[in-house]
C-alpha cells in the first residue's frame, strides 16, 4: 500500500545533507542491563506497530513530485535493532564519542528510515540510542511515540502484537481566511497552482491547534492578510546572523554532549522569584548567558550582539501528538546576548517570548514550509538555507513525563534528544524534562566548536549564579545593570519617607547629584526630607551655580535658552543628528523603566 508524502514531510526529506543529516536522535539511559530479546519485541510490537515505521520512501520515477510511502515487504526488526559495546573506559566521555560518531552515519534509503542501537558496557547499565529521519515525524510526535512504547510499572508484561486503536480527531472550524488570501494573491493563473494553494490550506486545516487564535487575529480578513504579508516581508528582509563559533562552513563530524540532570525545583525557584516568567524563559535566558560566556572565551565581541535561534512550535490539534508526520512550525527568536545582567536578560527574554506567542509567525511559517515542500528538491533546499542562515542555532524545549518510566522492564534513568540543523547553522540546543529533572544537550559542528563542553559549563555556571542571586536575596538588593558600558547604580540616600532615593548614583559614586553635593559639603547624605525641585534645578548647574544652557543658536541668531540635555552641550532640539538609535537600546530602556517602577 502506498501513500503520498505530505508537502511538510517532503520538505524535511529534501533537506538531507552530508554536513547536516535530517535525523532526530535520542537516547535513554539505564542503570541496569536490558534483555535484548525483550527489547526487540518491545520495538517490534510497540514502535514498529505505527505503520510509518514499516514503510520506506519511494521516489517518483519521473523525478518530479512528492515521494510515496510504501510498505516494506521485506521488513525485519533485526535490520533495525542492533547491539554494540561501548569501548573502555566505558564512561560518559566514551559514550559521547560513540553517539557523536553514530549521529553522522546516514540511514539506509532502501529500508524504513530509522535505527535503534543498544549500547552495552556503559558502567553497570546500558543506553538505548534512537535515530529517526525527520520526514517520519517531528520531535513532539517522535518523543510521544517513543515514550508510548514504555511502561509505567517495572513488572509490566512482555509486549504482544495487539493492534493499536485508531484515535479519533476533534474537528475545528476553518479559520484560514488569511492563508486563502495569501495563496490567492501570489498564485499564477493556472489550475496547477490553484491545486498547490489548496493543498497547503488543507494541510493547515489538519494541523492547526489554536483556531481561536487566528479567528481573533482575523476579525477582518484584510487585517489578517496584512499580518501574513508583514511576517513574510519580515522574513525576507531579515539580515543573517554574523559568523561566529555557532555558524559557518560546516564539516561532517559532529559533537554530542549533555549536562548532568538539573533538579526542576531549582529552576522553579528562579522562575517564582521573577514575576510573570516561566520555566521556559529561565532556561532560554540561561542558554543566552552561556552563549555570551562561550563567545567571550573565544574573544568575540558580545556587547552589541543579538543572535537568533529557530524555535520549533507545536501547532497540532490537542490529542493528536501520537500522529506521525511534521505538524509544527518554526519561529525566529532573537536572544539578547549583549545583556550581561542575568535578571535583566531573563526579563527581556520573557518580553520577547510573549511577543512571539501573540504573533501570527508560527502559522505563516508553517504555510511557507509547506509551500517549499511542493517545490523541486534543489529549489526547496536553497530556499531553506536562505532562511535557515538567518539564525545561529536551533533551540527546542520538550516537556517529558513527570513520573519515571520503564522500557523493556528496566527503569529509564535519563532521556535526551537532539534535533537536526540546516544551512550553515552548526549548533543545536535541546532541553528535555523528565522525572523532576532537566537535561540540556548540544549537537555542534566539530570544526566550529571543538570544545562544546565549555558551553555546557557556561550554562551550569550561569544558572548557578542566577540561583545564587535568588537564594541570597541579592536579586532585590542592587539595581540591575546591562553590561560593562552601564555602571549606574541607585542612589544610597534615603528620603523623608524612609525609602531609598530613586535617582541613579553618579558614575563611580554612591549618590545622585543632589545627595553627592550635600555629602561634599559635609551634610549627611541620608537626608530626612525629600529632594526639592530647587535642589534638582541646582544639581543640573555648573560648579558656580549657573544652569547649563544649550549652545545651539536660534533662527534669530541668539543662544538657545533651553537647558542642555544631560551629557550634552545641546538641548533635544539642537542636538546634532545621529544615526538612528538601535532598537535594542529602546527595548532596554523599557525594561529598565519596568524594573524601576513596576
Q: Report the SS3 class of residue 168.
A: coil
- With H, G, I as helix, E, B as strand and everything else as coil, classify residue 5: coil
Whether pTM exceeds 0.75 = no
Indicate the range of 96-105, 137-146, 267-276, 514-523 predicted with least confidence: 514-523
- Tell me if 396 sits within 8 A of 311, measured CB to CB: yes
For residue 436, pLDDT beyond 80: yes
Q: What is the pLDDT of residues 345-355, one digit of tens each?
A: 998 999 998 88
Query: Has residue 272 got a pLDDT over 90?
Result: no
Average pLDDT over residues 519-526: 53
- 343: helix, strand or coil: helix
Domains observed in the chain: 2-148 (3.30.559.10), 240-400+423-472 (3.30.559.30), 487-546 (no CATH), 548-598 (no CATH)
What is the reported pLDDT for 522?
A: 58
β-strand partners of 81? 116
Range with the poorest average pLDDT among 298-307, 400-409, 503-512, 518-527: 518-527
- Relative to beta strand 125-133, strand 262-263 is unpaired
Q: How far apart are CA 271 and CA 467, in angstroms?
A: 10
d(CA 564, CA 547): 9
Between CA 337 and CA 314 the distance in angstroms is 26
- Best CA proximity match to 394, nearest among 435, 348, 445: 445
- Contact at 8 Å (CB) between 492 and 511? yes
- What cell numbers appear for 554 in the block? 536660534
563 secondary structure, DSSP code:
B
Amino acid at each position: 500500500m502506498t501513500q503520498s508524502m505530505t508537502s511538510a514531510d517532503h520538505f524535511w526529506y529534501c533537506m538531507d545533507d552530508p554536513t547536516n543529516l535530517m535525523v532526530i536522535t535520542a537516547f535513554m539511559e539505564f542503570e541496569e542491563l536490558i534483555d535484548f530479546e525483550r527489547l526487540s519485541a518491545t520495538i517490534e510490537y510497540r514502535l514498529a506497530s505505527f505503520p510509518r515505521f514499516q514503510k520506506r520512501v519511494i521516489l517518483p520515477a519521473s523525478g518530479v513530485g512528492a515521494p510515496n510511502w510504501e510498505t516494506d515487504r521485506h521488513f525485519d526488526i533485526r535490520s533495525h535493532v542492533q547491539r554494540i559495546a561501548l569501548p573502555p573506559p566505558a564512561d560518559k566521555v566514551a559514550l559521547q564519542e560513540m553517539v557523536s560518531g553514530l549521529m553522522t552515519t546516514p540511514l539506509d534509503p532502501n529500508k524504513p528510515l530509522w535505527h535503534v542501537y543498544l549500547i552495552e558496557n556503559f558502567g553497570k547499565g546500558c543506553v538505548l540510542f534512537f535515530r529517526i529521519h525527520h520526514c517520519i515525524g517531528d520531535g513532539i510526535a517522535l518523543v510521544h511515540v517513543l515514550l508510548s512504547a514504555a511502561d509505567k510499572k517495572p513488572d509490566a508484561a512482555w509486549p504482544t502484537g495487539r493492534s493499536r486503536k485508531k484515535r479519533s480527531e476533534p474537528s475545528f472550524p476553518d479559520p484560514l481566511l488569511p492563508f486563502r488570501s495569501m495563496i490567492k494573491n501570489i498564485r499564477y493563473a493556472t489550475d496547477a497552482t490553484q491545486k498547490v494553494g489548496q493543498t497547503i490550506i488543507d494541510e493547515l486545516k489538519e494541523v492547526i491547534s489554536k483556531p481561536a487564535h487566528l479567528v481573533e487575529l482575523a476579525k477582518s480578513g484584510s487585517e489578517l492578510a496584512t499580518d501574513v504579508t508583514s511576517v513574510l516581508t519580515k522574513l525576507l528582509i531579515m539580515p543573517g546572523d554574523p559568523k561566529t563559533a555557532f555558524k559557518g562552513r560546516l564539516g561532517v563530524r559532529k559533537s554530542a554532549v549533555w549536562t548532568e540532570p538539573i533538579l526542576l525545583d531549582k529552576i522553579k525557584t528562579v522562575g517564582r522569584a521573577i514575576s510573570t516568567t516561566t520555566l521556559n524563559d529561565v532556561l532560554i535566558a540561561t542558554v543566552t548567558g552561556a552563549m555570551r560566556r562561550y563567545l567571550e572565551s573565544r574573544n568575540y565581541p558580545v556587547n552589541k550582539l543579538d543572535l537568533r535561534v529557530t524555535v520549533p512550535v507545536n501547532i497540532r490539534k490537542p490529542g493528536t501528538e501520537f500522529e506521525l508526520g511534521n505538524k509544527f512550525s518554526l519561529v525566529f527568536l532573537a536572544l539578547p546576548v549583549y545583556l550581561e545582567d542575568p535578571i535583566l536578560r531573563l526579563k527581556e527574554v520573557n518580553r520577547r517570548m510573549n511577543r512571539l506567542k501573540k504573533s501570527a509567525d508560527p502559522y505563516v511559517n508553517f504555510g511557507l514550509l509547506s509551500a517549499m515542500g511542493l517545490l523541486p528538491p534543489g529549489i526547496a533546499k536553497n530556499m531553506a538555507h536562505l532562511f535557515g542562515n538567518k539564525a545561529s542555532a536551533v533551540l527546542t524545549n520538550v516537556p517529558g513525563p513527570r513520573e519515571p518510566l520503564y522500557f523493556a522492564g528496566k527503569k529509564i534513568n535519563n532521556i535526551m534528544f537532539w534535533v537536526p540543523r540546516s544551512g550553515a547553522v552548526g549548533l543545536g540546543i535541546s532541553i528535555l524534562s523528565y522525572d523532576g529533572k532537566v537535561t540540556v544537550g548540544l549537537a555542534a559542528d566539530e570544526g566550529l566548536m571543538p570544545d562544546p563542553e565549555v558551553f555546557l559549563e557556561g550554562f551550569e555556571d550561569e544558572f548557578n549564579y542566577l540561583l545564587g542571586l535568588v537564594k541570597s536575596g541579592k536579586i532585590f538588593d542592587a539595581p540591575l545593570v546591562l553590561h560593562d558600558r552601564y555602571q549606574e547604580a541607585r542612589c544610597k540616600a534615603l528620603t523623608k519617607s524612609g525609602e531609598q532615593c530613586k535617582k541613579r548614583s553618579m558614575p563611580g559614586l554612591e549618590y545622585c547629584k543632589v545627595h553627592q553635593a550635600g555629602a561634599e559639603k559635609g551634610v549627611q547624605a541620608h537626608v530626612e526630607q525629600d529632594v526639592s525641585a530647587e535642589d534638582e534645578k541646582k544639581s543640573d548647574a555648573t560648579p558656580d551655580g549657573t544652569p547649563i544652557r544649550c549652545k545651539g543658536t536660534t533662527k534669530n541668531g541668539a543662544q538657545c535658552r533651553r537647558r542642555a540635555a544631560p551629557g550634552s552641550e545641546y538641548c533635544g532640539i539642537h542636538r546634532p543628528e545621529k544615526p538612528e538609535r538601535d532598537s535594542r537600546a529602546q527595548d532596554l530602556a523599557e525594561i529598565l523603566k519596568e524594573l524601576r517602577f513596576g
